[in-house]
Chains A and B, each alone.
Chain A
Amino acid sequence: MVRTKATSAYLFGISIWILSFLFALKVGIVKDANLELITAVRLPRAILASALGVGLAVSGAALQALFSNPLCEPYTLGISSGSALGAVLGASLGLQWNLAGLTGTSFLGAILFAAILYGVSLRRGSGNGTLLLTGVMLGFFGNSLVATWIALSDSNGLQGALVWLFGDLSRARLKSSILTFVGVWVFVFFIWTHRRALDALLLGEEGASSLGVDVAYIRQRIVLLTSLLIGVCVSAGGIIGFVGLVVPHFCRRFVGPLHGVLIPLCAIWGAVLLTLADLMSRILIQPYELPVGVVTALMGAPIFLWLILRRGEIS
């Protein structure tokens, strides 16, 4: 029964994805757009939105399992703050270098924070709780530095950084979007190879350990993979909240919490959610654009609340 449910969830998700992708190409501020506009502006954006949706949803699912905590999301570990710090510093210092479509300074910030987390995960005898707290503290620290920097700077040049803090897909270019898309799937694949260990972690650290999982090793691998993945996502499109928290919960309702099935489904529905959200962000208040992170939260929060209140529990 689970199998037929999973198959229909996959097929349904893929069809919605294709539909929303086509819509994203067709609909926009300019009516009757020509082919050039579509390939230069809308196509890269739709690809990037799909890629980030995939990455954020899957890293959310993996972290929720690793920490046995359904409230974890990609930004719980604080990688996004490192990334934001890099972006804001870069923007105000006028460093505009680009790393295959990623904001260079922002990616550096993410890598720095990821390295600190990885270092903590390598430390002997530090459990998941230590790691989670380190991530949360890194997040606070990074956010405070960002706030300090913004408070001390003049407004010129910060507009870009501020937009970026709420998610911004407008800088997508075709080549780099495709590269990000492929890269994200590579990470997703590597996370998926750890699916059995993630399943075992659903019974907690000690449970997983007695099931034959080397918890310390898996912790290091998942931290490394997810923090790089989150780093890529955040430096490509800014901080887009909500996808990583909600999509895994939504998908677990249909196929249960086992990751062999859950991870690909999260990838598909993450792409759907973010493609639709980006479409909304472009057309809701024409001719202006809403930050896509605002749209995901505005759309997602009521739906999520409705899901919880209807059945009375999460996941």
Chain B
Amino acid sequence: MKNRPLFGVYGMSYRLNRGFQGVGRKLILDSISFEIARGEVIALLGPNGSGKSTLMKLGAGVLPFRSLSCTGQVRYLGQDFLSVSAEYRARNVVYVASDVRSEFLLTAQEVVFLGRTSARRGWMQGTSQSDAEAVRRAMDRCSCWDLRDRNLSYLSGGERQLVALACALAQGAKVLFLDEIMSQMDIHHQATIGRLLKDLAKEGFAILLVSHDLNLASEWADSIIFLKEGKKIFHGPVLMAFQQETMDLLYPHSNLKVGLNPLTGAPKVFFGQDT
């Protein structure tokens, strides 16, 4: 039997209703649908401004779906996900932004503890032993336990991204929406986190990731969704996604060529020779 989808978006449209007399009105998302099952890693790819982050934020409930003129449905385990409480939402689906920052001096460990905000507890109760364990485990997995006493503002971009992912893992959600979370990591951390994502998928997490690095996405994802100008133009397995025609359609005039990684067989995109 096919794996029942854990999370799904059905016919989501979002029109920006700003601007004078209809000028400047823009369809940000045009009836997008997709489903994601346990153990699946989907990469959401597309040029700048194609609606990737908006789709993720609306799906995860970080942007208020109801008060922005959106239409469509979001379902978690087959149930309506738009009317659930914020805590329930955060315990099950989490959106990780490409950068985590604060105007105030928080240590890395304090940030990861914030991931336990939505955990069930009495209103007088402080953080518990199980919170501390979840934080420790999450930081270990993201190899940032050594950073725990450093201030978030003093960490490098890549280190902050490790902390942000640890925060999301501490939250305990099984659906992860990762928005460019490897963009500032060095190649060692990219490899570590890439493997971590594969491990998480094996444990039953469902992962949707946005990346501008197509070659990174083709390495770690099982399937690909291509967005362009708010429309889904492709959804399928990695090998079928990286076709010459698709690349020319998505990134015209960029002279991109598709080839295979000689070691893993994953499709890669290369800059073609200037003619």
Contact = CB atoms under 8 A, between A and B. Distances in A.
A266 to B, nearest CB: 14
B106 A125 contact: no
A257 B62 contact: no
A190 to B, nearest CB: 12
Given A210-B97, A257-B104, A193 B110 contact: no
A212 interface: yes
A258 interface: yes
Given A193-B123, A199-B114, A256-B106, A214 B101 contact: no
Contact of B104 (A211, A213, A315): A315
Nearest to A218: B86
A31 interface: no
Chain B's interface size range is 35 or more
Interface stretch (B1-9, B87-95, B261-269): B87-95
B274 interface: no
Interface in B53-83: 57, 60-64, 67-68
A212 B91 contact: yes
Interface in B89-148: 89-91, 94-97, 100-107, 110-111, 114-115, 117-118, 123, 126
B100 A203 contact: yes
Contacts of A193: 123
Contacts of B91: 212
B273 interface: no
A124 B101 CA distance: 26
A212 B68 contact: no
Interface string A121-139: 0001100000000000000
B62 A213 contact: no
Contacts of A200: 114, 117
A209 interface: yes
B218 to A, nearest CB: 27
A120 to B, nearest CB: 14
A216 B62 CA distance: 11
Contact of B117 (A124, A125, A199): A199
Contacts, number: 85
B123 A256 contact: no
Interface string B155-171: 00000000000011001
B76 to A, nearest CB: 14
Looking at chain B's contact residues, the main secondary structure is loop
A202 interface: yes
A209 B62 contact: yes
B117 A202 contact: no
Contacts of A257: 102, 104-106
B105 A209 contact: no
B21 interface: no
B153 to A, nearest CB: 9
A143 to B, nearest CB: 27
A206 B91 CA distance: 16
A70 B62 CA distance: 24
A208 to B, nearest CB: 8
Interface of B: 57, 60-64, 67-68, 85-87, 89-91, 94-97, 100-107, 110-111, 114-115, 117-118, 123, 126, 167-168, 171
29 contacts: A68-B102, A124-B67, A193-B123, A200-B114, A200-B117, A202-B104, A202-B106, A202-B114, A203-B100, A203-B114, A206-B57, A206-B62, A207-B97, A209-B86, A210-B60, A210-B62, A210-B94, A210-B97, A211-B90, A211-B115, A211-B167, A211-B171, A213-B86, A214-B85, A256-B105, A256-B107, A257-B104, A257-B106, A315-B104
5 closest residue pairs by CB, A with B: A212-B90, A212-B118, A214-B86, A257-B104, A124-B67
Given A211-B117, A315-B105, 6 more contacts: A70-B104, A124-B67, A125-B68, A206-B97, A209-B86, A210-B62
